[in-house]
Structure 1
Amino acid sequence: MASHRRPTHSGLTHSARVTVLSAAAATAVAALGATPAGADPQTSPERARAAVDRLFQEAEKATERFNSASERATHLREELGQVQDGVARGQERINRLREALGSLAGAQYRSGGVDPTLSLLLSSDPDTFLAQAEMLNMVTERQHSALQDLQRAQRSIGQLRTEAARDLSDLERSRAAVARHKRTVERKLAQAQRLLNSLPSEERGAFDRASRSGRGVLPAVSGDAPASSRAAAAIRAARSAVGRPYVWGANGPSGFDCSGLVQWSYAQAGVGLPRTSQAQRYAGRQVPLSEARPGDLVTYRNDASHIGMYMGNGQVVHAPYPGASVRYDPVRMMPISAVTRV
């Protein structure tokens, strides 16, 4: 993500940096397929930086896909638990209904297996016949009702079991997606780290200093007031996170990725936001950048793969990329896709 790192101030002139880096950067970038044969070695350091930034950007996109799959898996686990509880309760009810029907059947068996209606017809006492006929009718209706209840309960538990099987299948697919996206993130980050490790220590130190630019700097919020009290609380939380490390897949409090920082900051204000930057883009009302107020969410790139919080004075606070800490950067550090007021 080259566009949200400030220019390096390493103390070396451009020509000196080129001289120091040419061989190592050319080798490293060629290994990643970023430098075509016959490329001008004078541009190799810039190509090396571009390759690192490209890998970080690809890792961040994979991180947001990982976050989305993880959120989906969590939801499915909760849903599956509720369905399984419903199956258990349904089975208990079926067992009770079967016991009740079994009791009625046992009573008939103990009467000798003679049809109750026939027994009443053989009675010599008309009053007894009428009283027992009414009772028999009630028992028959109760038995019929219990049988219907049992059939309904069996249909219901069958539907619940089908739903549970579907949820379990979806959960397994989500788990596979989580693992796949995790491997992608780790692969991209490992490639970027290998490329950084190939640079001479002087340039690597300059890169590290650039990645930490803005740390500890606490610009004042602009004269524009936050859009709401909850936005003001989220701003305070985001400011308190400045300097904490970027950790992919994390949403605080010790480390954050970009959407994790936004989610955590608003959670401290009592506001629940979705986990991914793509979903956070639609978590409120979109406004023009010219009307942005502190606390608004600023989403970057067409795919909304990065997000930060507007702090006023033309700055956002965000979790940039691995190796960097939560920091302030210019709001126009990357192409903006949306400004959202929560």
Structure 2
Amino acid sequence: MASHRKPRNSRIRTSHAVGITSAALTSVALLAQTANAAPAEPDKPSLEEVQKKVDDLYREAGTATQKYNLAKERSEQARDKLNGLQDEVAKRTDKVNDARRELGQIAAAQYRNGTASDTAVLLLSDNPDDYFAQRQLMGRLSGQQQKAVEDFQTLQTQANEKRDEANDSLVQLTESEDDLKTSKQDVQRKLGEARQLLSKLTEEEKRRLAELERQREAEAKRKAEELARKQAAEEEAKRKAAEEAAREEAAQEEAAQEETPEQPAEPPASEDDAYAAKAEKVIAFAQSQIGKPYVWGAAGPDSYDCSGLTQKAWAQAGIELPRTTWDQVKVGTTVSVDNAKPGDLVFFYDDISHVGIYIGNGEMIHAPKPGTNVRVESIYYMPIHSVVRPA
């Protein structure tokens, strides 16, 4: 029987097939192009952005270094305290044992004399208080024996207290050492990130970065010279005023002088003179360290971090500064930048993570950062937080 289905339009079928084939080929071609194309490279940071990031990482590493210094100082203090307490515990334990032996002799004597046997237990008990309360045996002892028991109790209590104190100190030491380890890892991580950023620069970029650094130094030097001129003008004005005052005073003294005047006593040294003498020692030491490498956590004699250098320098003048910038900034008197004198400490950044020694003319000696040496630099190279006069 013949089929009643209408035959399909071959022309329509052919056109439709061609259209599908063309679209498929186009898609395949696009996919192939996409597959062969190089992956899109993320936007590369500008050189200025790299410079800022590296500076930020070095500053963060400086902050972590101060945390490390603080943890190290606390760890050393805790260890010294623990060692002292352990020695004290040992001495008190010896005294307790001596007292225990004395009580043993008393108990043995009572046993030989036929006194109640439980007295011996009383005298050798680790907790005589409980036994006294229960049996009330103190009345059986002579006055000298009672004193021996009381001395033993006191020594035993003191030994236990020192033992508890030593245990607490051990806990503090463990916490400080954990902080020390964490801070050390933080410093190393920040410095590693900075090195990685710099290692990706081309030679041309490194040259441009060096030029940006030179421009930054030049601007800092210009500001330092401006401060130096301002301070020099102020000092000159003070000198002239002092000379004028001295001439007027001399004229008044001469008018009131007798025929045989007494020799005037030497005027006492002013506070300025005393400070200048100390500052001279500080700066002389700092100058002798120029060229030595920055090493985080170091305080001499072969290398320094920033607060390690200032601590050692001021020690030459008999002033004991704390170890960290955060504590050093609290020592002495805060003065304005315009009134800074040689020897003053200049602190930087909002987090007070860096410090240098002012030497005049807007310049300082400091230990800058890893990869550099102790050197002279403008105080305007970094944002100033404050200036402190330690003595």
User: Aligning the two structures, in what range does the TM-score lie when normalised by the shorter sequence?
Assistant: 0.7 to 0.9
Q: Which residue does 1:231 correspond to in 2?
A: 279
Kindly indicate whether the alpha-carbon contact (under 8 Å) linking 2:71 and 2:179 is maintained by their aligned counterparts in 1. Answer: yes
- 1:80-229 to structure 2, matched below 5 A, reads 80-113=82-115, 140-204=142-206, 227-229=275-277
Aligned partners of 1:193 and 1:335: how far apart in 2?
23
Q: Which residue does 2:292 correspond to in 1?
A: 244
Aligned partners of 1:160 and 1:166: how far apart in 2?
10
Residue 258 of structure 1: how far off its partner (Å) = 0.8
Asked if 1:339 corresponds to 2:362, the answer is no
Q: Which residue does 1:57 correspond to in 2?
A: 59
Residue 255 of structure 1: how far off its partner (Å) = 1.1
Aligned partners of 1:225 and 1:190: how far apart in 2?
46
Q: Deviations over 1:219-250 (max 9, x none)?
A: 99x88978243322111111111121111111
Q: What stretches of structure 1 move > 3 A for 4+ residues in a row?
A: 201-211, 222-226
Using a 3 Å threshold, how does the CA distance of structure 1 residues 104 and 312 change in structure 2: closer, same or farther?
same
Report the residue type matching 1:338 in the other structure: S
Aligned partners of 2:107 and 2:365: how far apart in 1?
73
Report the residue type matching 1:106 in the other structure: A
Where in structure 2 are there 5+ consecutive unaligned residues? 1-40, 118-138, 219-224, 236-271
Aligned partners of 2:304 and 2:151: how far apart in 1?
53
Larger Rg: 2
Kindly indicate whether the alpha-carbon contact (under 8 Å) linking 1:208 and 1:323 is maintained by their aligned counterparts in 2. Answer: no
Aligned partners of 2:276 and 2:104: how far apart in 1?
64
Aligned partners of 2:174 and 2:276: how far apart in 1?
41
Asked if 1:260 corresponds to 2:262, the answer is no
Q: Which residue does 1:5 correspond to in 2?
A: none
Q: Deviations over 1:42-86 (max 9, x none)?
A: x71111111111111111110100000000000000111111111
Asked if 1:70 corresponds to 2:118, the answer is no
Using a 3 Å threshold, how does the CA distance of structure 1 residues 336 and 271 change in structure 2: closer, same or farther?
same
Aligned partners of 1:104 and 1:162: how far apart in 2?
30
Q: Deviations over 1:157-215 (max 9, x none)?
A: 1111111111101110110110001001001101111111111235446757959x89x
Q: Deviations over 1:123-169 (max 9, x none)?
A: xxxxxxxxxxxxxx9x7111111111111111111111111111101
Report the residue type matching 2:53 in the other structure: A
The TM-score normalised by the length of structure 2 is 0.65
Relative CO higher for 1 or 2, CA cutoff 8 Å, sep ≥ 6?
Answer: 1
Identity %: 39
Kindly indicate whether the alpha-carbon contact (under 8 Å) linking 2:357 and 2:366 is maintained by their aligned counterparts in 1. Answer: yes
Kindly indicate whether the alpha-carbon contact (under 8 Å) linking 1:226 and 1:295 is maintained by their aligned counterparts in 2. Answer: no
Where in structure 1 are there 5+ consecutive unaligned residues? 1-30, 32-36, 116-136
Q: Counterpart of 2:307 in 1: which secondary structure?
A: helix
Kindly indicate whether the alpha-carbon contact (under 8 Å) linking 1:249 and 1:260 is maintained by their aligned counterparts in 2. Answer: yes
Kindly indicate whether the alpha-carbon contact (under 8 Å) linking 1:197 and 1:204 is maintained by their aligned counterparts in 2. Answer: no
Q: Counterpart of 1:106 in 2: which secondary structure?
A: helix
Kindly indicate whether the alpha-carbon contact (under 8 Å) linking 1:76 and 1:167 is maintained by their aligned counterparts in 2. Answer: yes
Using a 3 Å threshold, how does the CA distance of structure 1 residues 171 and 206 change in structure 2: closer, same or farther?
farther
Report the residue type matching 1:233 in the other structure: K
Asked if 1:317 corresponds to 2:319, the answer is no
Aligned partners of 2:50 and 2:174: how far apart in 1?
39
Aligned partners of 1:90 and 1:312: how far apart in 2?
57
Using a 3 Å threshold, how does the CA distance of structure 1 residues 208 and 153 change in structure 2: closer, same or farther?
farther
Aligned partners of 1:73 and 1:232: how far apart in 2?
33
Aligned partners of 1:114 and 1:156: how far apart in 2?
30
The TM-score normalised by the length of structure 1 is 0.74
Q: Deviations over 1:276-335 (max 9, x none)?
A: 001010122222222211111111122211111111111111111111111122223323
Aligned partners of 2:70 and 2:168: how far apart in 1?
19
Kindly indicate whether the alpha-carbon contact (under 8 Å) linking 1:226 and 1:293 is maintained by their aligned counterparts in 2. Answer: no
Aligned partners of 2:72 and 2:205: how far apart in 1?
37
Name which of 307, 326, 329 aligns with 1:281.
Answer: 329
Aligned partners of 1:208 and 1:230: how far apart in 2?
38
Q: State the aligned residue count.
A: 278
Kindly indicate whether the alpha-carbon contact (under 8 Å) linking 1:297 and 1:310 is maintained by their aligned counterparts in 2. Answer: yes
Using a 3 Å threshold, how does the CA distance of structure 1 residues 281 and 140 change in structure 2: closer, same or farther?
same
